[in-house]
Amino acid sequence: MPTVELRFSALPEHVRTARLVAAAVARRAGVDEAVLDEVRLAVGEACSRAVGLHQSHGIEAPVRVALTEEEKQFSIEVGDEAPHTAVNSGSVPGIVAALDDPEAEGEDEMGLAVISGLVDDVEVSSSQEGGLIRMSWPTAPEPLAT
Partner 1 sequence: MDLSLSTRTVGDRTVVEVGGEIDVYTAPKLREQLVELVNDGSFHLVVDMEGVDFLDSTGLGVLVGGLKRVRAHEGSLRLVCNQERILKIFRITGLTKVFPIHASVDEAVAATD
Percent helix, strand and coil across the chain, each to the nearest 5? 40, 25, 35
Beta carbon of residue 40, minimum distance to partner 1 (angstroms, whole number): 7
x-marked contacts with partner 1 along 34-73 as a string, rule CB under 8 A: ---x--xx--xx-xx--xx---------------------
Distance (Å) of CA 84 to CA 37, 89, 100, 134: 29, 10, 23, 16
Kind of pairing between the strands at 73-79 and 63-69: antiparallel
> Whose Cβ is closer to partner 1: residue 105's or residue 129's?
105
> Whose Cβ is closer to partner 1: residue 30's or residue 106's?
106
Looking at residue 131, the DSSP 8-state letter turns out to be E
Beta carbon of residue 1, minimum distance to partner 1 (angstroms, whole number): 29
Window of 12-20, 71-79, 84-92, 130-138 that interacts with partner 1 by CB under 8 A: 12-20
